[in-house]
Chain A
Amino acid sequence: MITTSGLTKSFDLEGGSILALAPLDHRIEKGSFVSIVGPSGCGKSTFLRLIAGLEDASGGTVKLDTGSAKRPVGFVFQDAVLLPWKTVRDNIRFPLDTAGVRRDEGNRIVGELIDLVGLTGFEDALPKQLSGGMRQRAAIARALSDDPPILLMDEPFSAVDLLTRETLNDELLRIWQRTGKTILLVTHSVEEAAYLGSEVMVMSPRPGRLKKTYTVDLPHPRGEATKLDPAYHQLVAELRQDMRETE
């Protein structure tokens, strides 16, 4: 469970400061898949970075109810952010190695993850030898490797071609259903938000704030049938309308 109360962030600029995120009170249930949409400058990335502890809040609090997890969150960045001097395997096992997980245990986990994200045969490749989609898969596998209860994803598929994107979306849904993680996904695509989320947060800019939340009750497992479901199209249309109003 993630609870924010009065969470706010302003950035100091020359001659003043801008409010990136107006005070935000929100509660995200454990095991939910929250899509966050909104135009540029709506504070959606800032919200994610505040939860991850990558930014210090200017006010308010974030509470992560993740028990004793030493690393409560995994983060998937917009660019994969793989370390270029490590192979795919070593990048994926980096969180394990730096947490002192035993070598054979690490090998087992990494082997499973490489299968899961479809990178079998590329274990010893360097990131620069991979396509953008493959790099992003490796980044997802890395974020999953030390099994964080919360997975934060900041526009992870924006640099990936459409077909790969749909494949990765379905893989992500599978992973979510299998692991029961809480996932927060920032995206520009209202279709992606509706297809993946159990909840959609719509944010609006100047200043960044939460405009609306939707509970999505499209049935699981989702797939091609979901994309034909009138309820899905209804939601996409409403989200698009919200986005237009926020411009």
Chain B
Amino acid sequence: MLKRGIAGLVLIVALWGGGVFLFNVPDYLLPSPAAVMARMAFLYENANLLGHVYVTVMEIFWGFLLGFLAGILAALLFARFPVSERMSTPLILLLQTAPKIAIAPLLLLWLGLGPAPKIVLVAIVTFFPVMTGMLSGLRFVNKSYLDLARVLKLSPLQRFLHIELPSALPTLFAGATVATTLAMTAAVIGELMGANEGVGYLLSSGQENADTATVIGMVLLLSLMGWSFYELFEALRRRMEARFAEG
């Protein structure tokens, strides 16, 4: 599986390089793989590429953490007090259905060009799948476990810690896994809209300078970052599934 995957990647890079060479494609349309690599090395040495990666990673980290915690807290609140869900559903849906690309300028107006608006945007997109995952986990706890809790006269806190929370972990992490790809996109949208650092900033300055090699390099870098982030949570989700789901 992994071997075939690598073979496939090598093939694509070879076709790309071969095509550029054979048809003599100009650099501003499609630079060769080697040119992109050289450009990346140049950015690494002269433009603090790792520093920009760090900025983007931190925006995603804090935004994701914020959205993750807020999603869990909201799910707990909604599960405990259904009226709170009915009250906040319009606001959540409004925020959720508004295109993120349309919210970003507003956040930039309010919070400036620094990491803050990106963190908030990431938190907004992370919130929804995490909240729904946690809430459906809490709502669909095996009825027999609740019977057990009742026979044992567990306190609400004991019931939550020993039964509801473990039951909700698989769907919580399924939601979080979905949120990883959304979070990545949100951070980059925020940076494209206005920033002076971050991978998205390098990408948009590459575009302004018609520097196709930089743009392609940044796209590949973002894919790699998003993919790793996704796989991390997918692995966590699988562990939760194995340990906490029935069967």
State whether these chains interact: yes
Q: In the bound complex, do residue A84 and residue B148 qualify as a contact, i.e. CB atoms below 8 Å apart?
A: no
Question: B168 → chain A, closest Cβ, in Å?
Answer: 12
Q: In the bound complex, do residue A75 and residue B166 qualify as a contact, i.e. CB atoms below 8 Å apart?
A: no
For B150, what are the chain A residues with a Cβ–Cβ distance below 8 Å?
52-54
Q: Which among B150, B151, B163, B166 has the greatest number of chain A C-beta atoms within 10 A?
A: B151
Question: B95 → chain A, closest Cβ, in Å?
Answer: 34
For A71, what are the chain B residues with a Cβ–Cβ distance below 8 Å?
151-153
> Interface segment, B187-195, B220-228, B239-247?
B239-247
For A73, what are the chain B residues with a Cβ–Cβ distance below 8 Å?
151
Number of residues in A with C-beta < 8 Å to the partner? Answer: 19
Q: In the bound complex, do residue A77 and residue B144 qualify as a contact, i.e. CB atoms below 8 Å apart?
A: yes
* Given A83-B162, A85-B166, residue A54 in contact with residue B151 (CB < 8 A): yes
A79 to B166: give the CA distance in the assembly, Å.
19
Q: In the bound complex, do residue B144 and residue A84 qualify as a contact, i.e. CB atoms below 8 Å apart?
A: no
Within 41-73 of A, Cβ neighbours of B (below 8 Å) are at 52-54, 70-71, 73
A54 to B244: give the CA distance in the assembly, Å.
25
Q: In the bound complex, do residue A83 and residue B145 qualify as a contact, i.e. CB atoms below 8 Å apart?
A: yes
Determine if A128 is an interface residue (Cβ-Cβ < 8 Å).
yes
Determine if B158 is an interface residue (Cβ-Cβ < 8 Å).
yes
Q: In the bound complex, do residue B152 and residue A94 qualify as a contact, i.e. CB atoms below 8 Å apart?
A: yes
Determine if A133 is an interface residue (Cβ-Cβ < 8 Å).
no
Determine if B147 is an interface residue (Cβ-Cβ < 8 Å).
yes
Question: A14 → chain B, closest Cβ, in Å?
Answer: 20
**What is the chain B residue whose CB lies nearest that of A75?**
B151
Q: In the bound complex, do residue B166 and residue A98 qualify as a contact, i.e. CB atoms below 8 Å apart?
A: no
Q: In the bound complex, do residue B154 and residue A98 qualify as a contact, i.e. CB atoms below 8 Å apart?
A: yes
Q: Which of B142, B144, B162, B245 contacts A94 (CB 8 A)?
A: B162
A95 to B162: give the CA distance in the assembly, Å.
11
For B148, what are the chain A residues with a Cβ–Cβ distance below 8 Å?
75, 77, 81, 83
Determine if A74 is an interface residue (Cβ-Cβ < 8 Å).
yes
**What is the chain A residue whose CB lies nearest that of B166?**
A85
Question: B61 → chain A, closest Cβ, in Å?
Answer: 28
Q: Encode B144-178 as 1/0 by CB contact (under 8 A) with A.
A: 11011011111000100011001000000000000
B residues contacting A by CB (< 8 A) are 142, 144-145, 147-148, 150-154, 158, 162-163, 166, 243-247
